């Protein structure tokens, strides 16, 4: 498989170790030399046209979440985030510039909570609804996951299962 096709399949960005499971080192180096693939930091390779959110998520070892994931799902959002929202696992060591690159959220996500480097639609809905205040008159029509954590910021010890995200 070609490194460019593999990166497209992986959402436009991937760690070197993931790429080298499928393509050879010389193939990857040729793609970089030709400008088809860009080395975006230590061990991170991206397609030239990939957006900043995907770059930040891969570089920080996380996935896109909250409004950044909603945008990738094609949903309308009330406010565009200034920085992408990236969800990382608890205990993840982050570089010093992490907060300048992204809004960092900490949560333990299972494999079923993530698809192609972003949170699934179900998890995204619950986290977005749970991270914004919900007026009282709407609470009865709001999904259970949003009512449980209405007005609270998603992160810390709150995992998607704790706010009612459906599991597969």
Write the pLDDT tens digit of every residue in 114-134.
Answer: 988 899 999 998 888 875 544
CA angle 88, 167, 65 (to 5 degrees): 30
Output the pTM of the full model: 0.71
Name residues whose C-beta falls within 8 Å of residue 2's C-beta, 6 or more positions apart in sequence. 23, 27, 31
Both 35 and 106 in one domain: the answer is: no
Separation CA 16–CA 3 (nearest Å): 11
- Domain of 148? 55-163
pLDDT for residue 159: 42
Both 11 and 59 in one domain: the answer is: no
Both 147 and 96 in one domain: the answer is: yes
Separation CA 118–CA 67 (nearest Å): 11
CA angle 51, 153, 89 (to 5 degrees): 60
State yes or no: pLDDT of 166 exceeds 60: no
- 56 near 102, Cβ under 8 Å? yes
Both 71 and 46 in one domain: the answer is: no
For 52, the enclosing helix (H) or strand (E) is helix 52-59
């Amino acid at each position: 498989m070609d490194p460019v096709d593999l990166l497209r399949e992986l959402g436009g960005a991937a760690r070197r170790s993931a790429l080298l499971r499928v393509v050879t080192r010389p193939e990857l180096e040729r793609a970089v030399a030709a400008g088809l693939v860009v080395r975006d930091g230590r061990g991170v390779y991206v397609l030239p046209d990939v957006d900043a959110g995907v770059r930040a998520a891969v570089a920080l070892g996380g996935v896109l979440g909250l409004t950044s994931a909603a945008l990738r799902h094609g949903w309308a959002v009330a406010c565009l985030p200034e920085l992408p929202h990236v969800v990382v696992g608890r205990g993840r060591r982050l570089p010093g510039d992490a907060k300048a690159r992204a809004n960092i959220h900490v949560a333990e996500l299972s494999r079923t909570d993530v698809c192609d480097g972003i949170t699934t639609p179900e998890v995204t809905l619950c986290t977005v609804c749970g991270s914004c205040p919900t007026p009282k008159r709407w609470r009865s029509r709001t999904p259970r996951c949003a009512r449980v954590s209405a007005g609270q910021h998603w992160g810390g010890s709150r995992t998607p299962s704790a706010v009612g995200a459906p599991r597969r």
